[in-house]
A and B are shown apart, each in its own frame.
Chain A
Amino acid sequence: MKRNLLYLVIPAVLIASCTERMDIELESSDTKLIVYGSITTDTMSHCIRLTQSVPFYSNTPPQPVKNATVYILEGNNRLELTESVNNPGCYYTSNDVFGKSAQTYELHIENVDIGGKTEFVAKTQMPELIEGYQTNYLDSINVTFNKNWNGWVVNGWAKEPQNMRNYYMFRVKINDVLYSDSLSNLVLVDDKFFNGNNTAGAAFYFIPERDTLKVGYMVTLELCAIPVDYFLYLREALQASRPQFPLFSPPPANPRSNISNGGLGYFSAYAIIRASYVMKEKDFVNVPKP
């Protein structure tokens, strides 16, 4: 919401500006281990992805870290992760793993050699979840076309739990395929503005392409209750990925990380709550013809 309104301020600058490419030499930093993955409340095989950073101008994508020993400690319980054969650098738990309320998870990565470091650890804690959280947070959703914004809006009916500071990440699936396939199209929300409020049809997610949806398509909103530190990590990572402009951008910096030994990225644990909506004929009545 804050961001949407801030876009108002920008056109004044952009109408006047022009761009051109330039040659600038860059120094290279040491190679870093990059970790990204999570344990969620879904019972499934969870993935932790290990890669290495590359120099900024390098023509290669960040390389996977292969043959590492990866496991997660869930209290006294050790969950082994195995590297995918088809997708090197992706390490999976067995398919019966699910995250539990307020549980601490400790990720261990061993048998690697990155910048002389061989062992890395990351610790995270699942947020405390209220009884029956799967249905309590999110009641239902619908999807409407917003003419002013010229796109589809996923509206939510929800009851925000009181007396708890919550941090949310919203994602959308269309016909069970993840539409929010990148960090840049996640929606991050801090409940401080509406703690404990009922929300009756507030905009939770925006889909700008009008042709994405058709009658009969199923739109699923995933409301993820995430730990505060992960919320801040996502916000910082997003900020770091955006271009810099003197009027609005804070000084560039490296996002936080919970990986030890100079590793970057994040290991997190969060809950997923879902609601779905099947697109109906009447939802398309207001859509202007292209």
Chain B
Amino acid sequence: MKIKTNVTILLLMSCLNLSAQVKFSVSGYVKDAQTGEALIGATIIVKELNTGAATNSYGYYSLSLPKGEYAIAAAYLGYQTETKPIQVVKDIRLDLELKPNTQEIQEVVVSRERGNSNVQRAEMSLIKLEMKNIKQIPALMGEVDVIKAIQLLPGVQSTAEGSSGFSVRGGAADQNLILLDEATVYNASHLMGFFSVFNNDAIKDIKLYKGDMPASFGGRLSSVLDIRMKEGNSKNFNVTGGIGSISSRLTIEGPVAKDKCSFMVAGRRTYVDVFFPLFNNDDLKGSTLYFYDLNAKLNLTINPNNRIFASGYFGRDMFGRDINGFGFGNRTLTARWNHIFRHNLFMNTTIINSNYAYFLESNTNDANAIRWESNMDELNVKVDFNYAYGPKYQLKFGTSSAHLTFMPGLIKGTSSESFIQRWEIPKQYALEHGAYISNEFDFGRLSLKAGIRVSAFQNMGKGQSLVLTPDYKVVDRINHAKGEIYNTYINPEPRLGLVFRLNDSSSIKASYSHTTQYIQQASNSQGGNPLDVWFPASPNIKPQQADQWAVGYFRNFMNNQIEASAEVYYKNVKNFVDFKDFADILLNDELEADIRQGRAYSYGLELFTRIGLSKWDGWLSYTYGRTLRKTPGVNMGRTYSATYDKPHNATIVLSYRVNKRVTVSANWIYSTGQTYTQPTGRYEIDNVTIPIYSDRNAKRYPDYHRLDVAVNIQTKKSLSRRWQSEWNISIYNLYNRHNAWAINFLQDKDNPNLTYAEKTYLFPAIPSVTYNFKF
């Protein structure tokens, strides 16, 4: 890896020699002409030089061009391409506004401008999803969900049916960096994972990096899910909402000062518990169960060179039964300042606070009254720069520093008689730093992207570290004073990518990335649950490190309306965090003694075809992938399959626009059954049957498949009224396949010597209706 690091540094240094020519900058924002929302990833093309750039996450682009006359074209999927002739004799500020393709236009225009940047750019293993498409995907109980859409992509698996946890190219669920407006979301699930925390109406843009990780991202091994909230319509007031089978949503957005300042507020709440009496289940009597979300964003354009944003998310799940309560939720706060310096230098400074907390309580008002709390908090400051110093060069660099607080568990008595007064796992503090630089080099048909990130992690007092023997016995505890740095890890993380363009519509790409992960989740169950706590690397827990190689062939057909790709990948994880058998992961002040570190590796082939025809939208994908682990002390040290090691995986996600008002969509999912551990024998201890298990995850569930369908009907538009509405009718699991969620081996109640296998399945065919409106 050292050689790779050196090569990367050399490449980065060589770029400094390239900026001798006299050049001028052309830069600006690309926005939606109707709403004023910045467009992320819009393509800017300078036809004369056969070069271009893409707008960054704030919709800003910048090019450095030699003196001359050029036609600058801006293109974005679903928008009309805008071309402006310019004469470059000095630095030029060129903000562009693109008009959305209205449906009437789509009727007559045969092809939509899609661009071929997916083929041409030196980036791979990246998927961008459009909210418009996600909204058409049939969803469980009509709750359209970003994470459930992502689970339909090649190389991505849900960790268990119905779960919001996902595995990217065999990675564990905690190896995904989930960002909402740059703030880490530590638990993206609601209601035990059946729904995610992302309210569609508040979201503008989604990108999933499955590999080939940009150097600006770090801290997780497997993927980055970068979700950006809407900025709020800066031209008109808008209200968007929906009434669904289990929840309702409302979003209000509009200008505070036209084109200068806008806001967006979105809320969502479920009402599942309203239907509890219908279930006629004693356990549910007197129970409460709901979740809510609140997203808010304010943005202000101070002048053409300065913009500030403030955004936040707040969500909670609440469960209650009699005198007991359980709640959990995330909070994220982001404040950003975009500043444009002279000469194509764009800066973004961000201050972020992320928090995930839960509690369980028993309000008995006697000796048993207790409250159990856990909390994870992050305060992060980041500065990122984009510097365009030549027609084909984009230099990116930046730093970040985060302060992390882990409160894994606190139990306190809530009545004067409580038999537990106060018990706490000592809090842990840590600092996580990153600095990166990356650049793209263009050599005609070959482009190279090279970057390096240096990450550092420091355990900081006040805290306690455990001294473990080689056989994981705790022999001592060392107390560290407040502010004392008692352990430091530093890791260089080289990232390389290249594209060789065969022609305008096809290319071969390759990438390598090294990633390091310093914090992880103590999750021992397959699907994960809200009680899983995060814990840091430490003198005992080495940072997890991954190397990923990928090679792919990319080809577009039919004037870029069909994008096809084939990628193969291999990922090797060192110091993979695993857990010994029967690890105690909750309220364990000696958690590190239950952890074993080993090796995890995965490899696979992903075939992906994305369709964007005038009437058809969607994708087809097939993945062959394996995910294996080998950890000393787990499964007797033998290699075993992860539960989501499902070699064959295929999805078809399609929607067809029947006419201006009606769209029909369907998705079909197939995968090899998940792995599980079978009993081979049994015995009895004190009248209880105990199974004897063979190798871990040596057998498989039956294959999984499911078809979901939906129809979306827009009501007739009247020109005089702003009110627009639509009905969405969907059926989840149309052919009522009883896919196994769990398989258990049980005893007959009447004859304990009669044993049988029983499957638990979650969702039969489930119809739902949602009404969405906008005015």
Q: Number of contact residues on B: which range applies?
A: 35 or more
Q: Is A19 an interface residue (CB 8 A)?
A: yes
Chain B residue numbers with a CB within 8 Å of A13 are 192, 762
Q: Complex Cα distance A245/B688, Å?
A: 19
Partner of A53, one of B279, B682, B688, B738: B682
Q: Is B678 an interface residue (CB 8 A)?
A: yes
Q: Is A18 an interface residue (CB 8 A)?
A: yes
Q: Is B524 an interface residue (CB 8 A)?
A: yes
B760 touches A19 (CB 8 A): yes
A60 touches B753 (CB 8 A): yes
B753 touches A16 (CB 8 A): no
B526 touches A246 (CB 8 A): yes
A246 touches B742 (CB 8 A): yes
Partner of B419, one of A5, A199, A253: A199
**Interface flags, A231-264, vs B, CB<8A=1, else 0:** 0100111111101111111111111000000001
A240 touches B677 (CB 8 A): no
Stretch at the interface among B131-139, B362-370, B485-493, B543-551: B362-370
Chain A residue numbers with a CB within 8 Å of B688 are 182-184, 237-238, 241
Chain A residue numbers with a CB within 8 Å of B370 are 1
B368 touches A202 (CB 8 A): yes
A200 touches B419 (CB 8 A): yes
A22 touches B757 (CB 8 A): yes
B760 touches A245 (CB 8 A): yes
Q: Is A148 an interface residue (CB 8 A)?
A: yes
B684 touches A2 (CB 8 A): no
**Interface flags, A49-60, vs B, CB<8A=1, else 0:** 001111111111
Q: Is B52 an interface residue (CB 8 A)?
A: no
B693 touches A21 (CB 8 A): no
Q: Is A61 an interface residue (CB 8 A)?
A: yes
A16 touches B759 (CB 8 A): no
Interface centre among B370, B531, B682 (most CB of A within 10 A): B682
Known: A13-B192, A244-B742, A244-B744. A24 touches B684 (CB 8 A): no
Chain B residue numbers with a CB within 8 Å of A6 are 360, 531
- In chain A, positions 1-39 with a C-beta closer than 8 Å to chain B are 1-2, 4-6, 8-9, 11-24, 26-29, 31-32, 34, 36
Known: A53-B683, A199-B419, A240-B691. A18 touches B764 (CB 8 A): yes
Chain A residue numbers with a CB within 8 Å of B320 are 8
Q: Is B582 an interface residue (CB 8 A)?
A: yes
A27 touches B683 (CB 8 A): no
B761 touches A17 (CB 8 A): yes
Stretch at the interface among A70-78, A96-104, A123-131, A189-197: A189-197
Partner of B753, one of A27, A59, A266: A59
B368 touches A203 (CB 8 A): yes
Chain A residue numbers with a CB within 8 Å of B679 are 26, 56, 252
Q: Number of contact residues on A: which range applies?
A: 35 or more
Q: Is A201 an interface residue (CB 8 A)?
A: yes
- Report the minimum CB–CB distance from A239 to chain B (whole Å): 6
A32 touches B368 (CB 8 A): no
Interface centre among B163, B322, B586, B742 (most CB of A within 10 A): B742
Partner of B283, one of A11, A57, A181, A255: A11
Closest to B528 in A: A247
B692 touches A235 (CB 8 A): no
Q: Is A155 an interface residue (CB 8 A)?
A: yes
**Interface flags, B511-548, vs A, CB<8A=1, else 0:** 00000000000001111111100000000000000000
Partner of A5, one of B160, B372, B758: B372
Known: A14-B283, A264-B692. A36 touches B685 (CB 8 A): yes
- Report the minimum CB–CB distance from A154 to chain B (whole Å): 12
A9 touches B326 (CB 8 A): yes
Partner of A15, one of B284, B676, B687, B744: B284
Can you name 5 A-B pairs with beta carbons within 8 Å? A22-B740, A54-B682, A193-B587, A245-B741, A247-B160
17 new A-B contacts at CB < 8 Å, known A18-B760, A252-B691: A1-B362, A5-B362, A11-B289, A15-B279, A17-B762, A18-B761, A53-B683, A56-B681, A155-B367, A182-B687, A184-B688, A201-B417, A232-B582, A244-B743, A247-B193, A247-B527, A253-B581
Q: Which residues of B contact A (CB under 8 A)?
A: 159-161, 163, 191-193, 279, 281, 283-284, 287, 289, 319-326, 360-362, 364, 366-368, 370, 372, 411, 417, 419-421, 423, 524-531, 579, 581-583, 585-587, 589, 676-694, 696-697, 738, 740-746, 752-764
Closest 10 CB pairs of A and B: A253-B581, A202-B419, A29-B680, A246-B160, A199-B419, A246-B527, A182-B687, A183-B686, A183-B688, A202-B367
